[in-house]
Amino acid sequence: MNQPLDDAALDQLFRTARTYNGYHDKPVTVEQLHAIWDLMKMGPTSANMLPARMIWCHSEDSKQRLADCSSPGNKDKILKAPASVIIGMDYDFHEHLPELFPHDDAKSWFAGDADGRKVHAMRNSSLQGGYFILAARAIGLDTGPMSGFDNDAVDKAFFKDQPNVKSNFISTLGYGDPETIFDRSPRPDFDKFNAII
């Protein structure tokens, strides 16, 4: 039986974790990128469809190309971060379902429904993006997820050979510098946005 996480773990994942605008000058390793994936891939998606397609911008060249597709306020964040990632979504995720969901003919559920696949790809790649944030925090890194970029430009620059893959959102990654964050924005009590019926 699972046991509740202790306060230190809950703080690291949620309560004291923050979205960072800048990072300490400490590299993120390729091994850490693999560790993040190995955790985030375990999070649930519909029929284990795993539609997220991750492009890890680890080199200066790739970070520059991503920065060139981003809004002015995000360019420096990307260039100065040790790494950034593009969370893309594969609209043809169903082609992988015979391997990923062998319990049933799940591929047939989505074949011929391109519009429906877009909805599923967006929903489930967004879930995987959330798992990315938690996985990064779990291994001691910080993130700066953002949507201030030109999706079409990112798709042309990074998914040109995969027209079925589109960008969802991007994030910086590293060891967060507390000097770069704002005061925490409000987090309402339960009753403001919740109902138990």
Q: Contact at 8 Å (CB) between 51 and 165?
A: no
**CA proximity to 135, closest of 17, 4, 16:** 17
Residue 1: what pLDDT? Answer: 87
Residue 33: what pLDDT? Answer: 98
Residues with pLDDT less than 50, the chain? none
Alpha helices, H only, 5-67: 7-10, 30-40, 60-67
Domains of the chain, start order: 38-178 (3.40.109.10)
Average pLDDT, the chain: 98
CA dihedral 118, 115, 157, 97 (to 10 degrees): 50
> Could you tell me how many residues make up the chain?
197
Contacts 24+ apart (CB under 8 A), 176-181: 176/18, 176/20, 176/22, 176/23, 176/24, 176/142, 176/144, 177/20, 177/22, 177/23, 177/24, 178/18, 179/22, 180/20, 180/21, 180/22, 180/23, 181/18, 181/19, 181/20, 181/21
CA angle 149, 154, 158 (to 5 degrees): 150
What 8-state DSSP symbol labels residue 165? E
